[in-house]
Structure 1
Amino acid sequence: MKKLFFILILLLNVALVVAQRSNSEIVLIKNIKLIDGTGGPIQNNTTVLIEDGIFKKVFNSSDFKISKGVRIIDGKGKTMIPGLVGVHNHLHIPGNPFLGEIATKLYLASGVTTIQTCGAASPNKEIEIARKIETGEILGPEIIPSGPYITGKGGNPNMIIPRNEDQLRDTIKFWTDKGAKWFKVYRNIEPEFLKIVIDEAHKNKLKVTGHLCSITFKEASEMGIDAIEHGLNSVSDFRGEKEVGKCSGSREYIDELDLDSEEVEDLLDNLVENETVLTSTLSIYEASVSSRSIIDERSSEIMSESFRNNFKNISNSSNKEVSKTREKRLKRIMEFEYKFYKKGGILSAGVDAGRHVLPGFGDQRNFILLIEAGFTTQEVINIMTKNGAIKLGRTDIGTIETGKRADFIILDGDLEFDEKAIEKIYKIYKNGFCYDPDSLLKGLKGKYGNL
């Protein structure tokens, strides 16, 4: 009986997958506003042909022949963008080490077709769910899984704290063999151990990112780290009285540092020259600014009651000065990222889900915050798609161009003039398969945050 029961459950899961996506088909989208992810001009009244899961043709002409069996979508009044590539998109939140299919469906329903998890609290489960999505057993974005966090003495005891060089090399080999593609070092990592992580990862064609403190951005960049997370909020280069190799020193720089100073210019130039990717995580920082903090209706519906109750008073902070300070810091973080991008730096983005910021919904919020930071619509899409692909070392995703994988979103509205259109998803396509956002979200109400 038990065997029969598990077979029935498997068949039900397969049926759900089939019900929520159609077969990869020949699709022709006409009269659509196209923001292709390259950072180039927005294209109006564009036609895009998708066949065999790739972009077959992208052209600005209505002169085409339609063969039988082609599904036609009239894009009038809609916007087409690449699937979002979220590169700080965990499958865990504080207090819940693995969100599983809840997070993966939230990401996909929000138009995030590829994620890099940027550190795993449950690496075995993360690698397994990545495999299940790849084989079509469950729904979700393509997942680029991470190994466990690696920190140093005095760091979080739930992370890997290397005892010696041999143990660290063995740990990296173990998780590489398991299927991890990235390693993330955390605040207390010692310089000599970071160098080993980078060397071992690169030897195995894997990559390394960091939420830094003990090591400065400049030091890590010159060691060859591939990416650094959180921008100005985690810079330790300008900490007062910082000890070399230790997470120490004061943080006055966050409020007082002249962002037009020569030392900031030199750091940004160094990062650009070394092609070190910076990852923007504005939505999670904004969640700490009480004057800005609200739970939108969509998030409220997805949250469990007990989880939602944690945030009853988030916008009613009694300390208005703290809120003002954090608001100013948010603006400075934005300015730092803007300067880096305008210098030619590779700025990517991810939600870093936590607090009341949900997977996927927080990625959409990042779009609005990057617009607030001064970027144009096409620059933000470039940051959130092509630059994410660059961070991953991928050339098959991230833009809508002939020959690339057909990962894209159709938005019900004009994103160029209505930033809120990023939330109005009509359809999501991943690898040529069509997904309906409402169907993906339907079974999630009241479940987010349950242990």
Structure 2
Amino acid sequence: MALAQGQEPKAILIKNIKLIDGTGGPVLKERSVLVENGVFRMIGHSSDFQALKDVTIVDGKGKTMIPGLVGVHNHLHIPGFPFIGEVASKLYLASGVTTIQTCGAASAKREIALAKKIAAGEAIGPEIIPSGPYITGKGGNPNMIIPQNEIHLRDTIRFWANQGVKWLKVYRNIEPEFLKIVIDEAHKRNLKVTGHLCSVTFKEASEMGIDAIEHGFNSVSYFRSNKKTGTCSGTREYIDTLDMQSKEVDDLLHRLVKNGTALTSTLSIYEASIPSRRFIDERSAEIMAASFREDFQHLKDQPDQKEINAIREKRFKRIMEFEYRFYQKGGILSAGVDAGRHVLPGFGDKRNFLLLLEAGFTTLEAINIMTKNGALKLGRSDIGTIEPGKRADFVILDGDLELDPKVIEKTEKVYSNGKPYDPEVILESLKGKYGE
């Protein structure tokens, strides 16, 4: 029985599929998965499902099933465009991203409104975990919230909590005393706090109780030379010279893990800064508005940048190593696209998977990072893995992901809360609209 876009069947049985369930456990071969009323009900072999009636059957032979991706640095804005939610949300869903944490909002009220529309079934897209506006400090971006005093800051947080935000993001210039207030007031109101840090070190923020830190090694200020306490200052030569096996690095990683501070990997956007790695795939080009494509072509046509390329390529490997070591020590490493440049929402999430493999993670570990660990960062137990009782967010890939990593790009069908969506139909409707 064919289903219309977003039409929820009473029951679905996906038969004989290769299953990567997101838990980090082994690949399960020739499994069948029963979904009823938007929830995973049973996982087993085909012989376990003999007496079912009124069930939509999906043949999974030759395909791979993974949980819906949980993107936890997935903005609804990009530089120059303060809100691209209507297009970005559909791009996320078409790529198999069924939950996003926006990690800072440029248009918080519009973001909250879109989240409510999707939750009500009035628009399609992933579940949106909305953020408040960025909070920074003196000398920071004037478009962000710059606290005047404690009363102002606490009132601001209370206002956005009442509007429906779930996360607050602090930015590079936040003063330590104000970060403490943000964390305190947020936690009183069951909000979580993450940060793109500079003025405050990872160690300091972790000890204050921050829930997560973004971008990993690329924004570690702990090792800066000539850094002044509480200010975004000092040199960044640590990125190129620090001994990654040193006791100082090991101690920092241990502290983050011990304190339960999650880290978010954003490899695809950093890759886009490396001249030799800049590329635009055909599908992305089709989605981009003409002027947006032209801007990227201008970037590609810049003079030879061999020196910049060598420096950034080396840094990229060190960023990867930091994340790999954090994960191996038991840290909660999650992932998000941080869309920008020529890296599109959703498309960049899938690119993250391939970059995590390049960093040394296995296929099972990469899926675990992009699904279960995203849910752990969010404090959610109802999503992130394919297990009985959890919400039926999942993706069917056309091929064997275990044998061919590029199968991550072959998204055949996306199910959000048990409802099926055809990625090709969604993408066809978005051609030429990104960056209009």
Report the secondary structure of 2:388's partner residue: coil
Decide whether the 8 Å contact of 1:104 with 1:140 is kept in 2. yes
CA distance in 2, matches of 1:62, 1:333: 46
Decide whether the 8 Å contact of 1:20 with 1:440 is kept in 2. no
TM-score, normalised with respect to structure 2: 0.98
- Counting only pairs closer than 5 Å after superposition, residues 328-343 of structure 1 correspond to structure 2 as 328-343=314-329
The equivalent residue for 1:361 is: 347
The equivalent residue for 1:205 is: 190
Aligned pair count?
433
Counterpart selection for 1:65 from 33, 50, 54: 50
Q: Which amino acid is the alignment partner of residue 77 of structure 1?
A: G
TM-score, normalised with respect to structure 1: 0.95
Counterpart selection for 1:165 from 150, 164, 168: 150
Residue 313 of structure 1: how far off its partner (Å): 4.3
CA distance in 2, matches of 1:391, 1:67: 37
Residue 61 of structure 1: how far off its partner (Å): 4.8
Residue 417 of structure 1: how far off its partner (Å): 1.3
Q: Does 1:268 align with 2:253?
A: yes
CA distance in 1, matches of 2:181, 2:9: 43
CA distance in 2, matches of 1:323, 1:25: 53
Deviations 1:39-93 (A, max 9, x none): 0111111111000110000114534214221111111110000000000000000
Deviations 1:5-46 (A, max 9, x none): xxxxxxxxxxxxx95222233011111000000001111111
Report the secondary structure of 1:241's partner residue: coil
Structure 2 unaligned segments of length 5 or more: list them.
Answer: none
Q: Does 1:307 align with 2:282?
A: no
CA distance in 1, matches of 2:48, 2:42: 13
- Counting only pairs closer than 5 Å after superposition, residues 36-47 of structure 1 correspond to structure 2 as 36-47=21-32
Counterpart selection for 2:397 from 389, 411, 418: 411
Decide whether the 8 Å contact of 1:151 with 1:161 is kept in 2. yes
CA distance in 2, matches of 1:185, 1:51: 40
Counterpart selection for 2:136 from 151, 161, 164: 151
Q: Which amino acid is the alignment partner of residue 81 of structure 2?
A: N
- Counting only pairs closer than 5 Å after superposition, residues 97-108 of structure 1 correspond to structure 2 as 97-108=82-93
Decide whether the 8 Å contact of 1:279 with 1:349 is kept in 2. yes
CA distance in 1, matches of 2:258, 2:8: 44
The equivalent residue for 1:20 is: 5
Deviations 1:196-230 (A, max 9, x none): 00000000011000000000000000000000000
Cα RMSD for the two superposed structures: 1.0
CA distance in 2, matches of 1:346, 1:248: 28
Decide whether the 8 Å contact of 1:134 with 1:142 is kept in 2. yes
Deviations 1:99-129 (A, max 9, x none): 0210000000000000000000000000000
Decide whether the 8 Å contact of 1:293 with 1:314 is kept in 2. no
Q: Which amino acid is the alignment partner of residue 203 of structure 1?
A: K
Decide whether the 8 Å contact of 2:288 with 2:433 is kept in 1. yes
The share of aligned pairs that are identical, in percent, is 72
Report the secondary structure of 2:353's partner residue: helix
Deviations 1:284-304 (A, max 9, x none): 000000101111001000000
Decide whether the 8 Å contact of 1:85 with 1:112 is kept in 2. yes
Decide whether the 8 Å contact of 2:275 with 2:305 is kept in 1. no
The equivalent residue for 2:67 is: 82
Residue 275 of structure 1: how far off its partner (Å): 0.4
Q: Which amino acid is the alignment partner of residue 433 of structure 1?
A: K
CA distance in 1, matches of 2:109, 2:5: 27
CA distance in 2, matches of 1:325, 1:172: 40
Structure 1 unaligned segments of length 5 or more: list them.
Answer: 1-17
Q: Does 1:192 align with 2:182?
A: no
Report the secondary structure of 1:341's partner residue: helix
Decide whether the 8 Å contact of 1:186 with 1:210 is kept in 2. yes
CA distance in 2, matches of 1:163, 1:36: 47
CA distance in 2, matches of 1:218, 1:209: 14
Report the secondary structure of 1:243's partner residue: coil
Decide whether the 8 Å contact of 1:113 with 1:407 is kept in 2. yes
Decide whether the 8 Å contact of 2:16 with 2:46 is kept in 1. no
The equivalent residue for 2:278 is: 293
CA distance in 2, matches of 1:394, 1:353: 24
Report the secondary structure of 1:237's partner residue: coil
Q: Does 1:115 align with 2:93?
A: no
Q: Which amino acid is the alignment partner of residue 304 of structure 1?
A: A
Residue 430 of structure 1: how far off its partner (Å): 0.6
Decide whether the 8 Å contact of 1:107 with 1:141 is kept in 2. yes
The equivalent residue for 1:346 is: 332
CA distance in 2, matches of 1:238, 1:161: 26
Decide whether the 8 Å contact of 2:22 with 2:367 is kept in 1. yes
- Please identify, of 56-65 and 377-386, the stretch whose mean Cα deviation from structure 2 is larger: 56-65
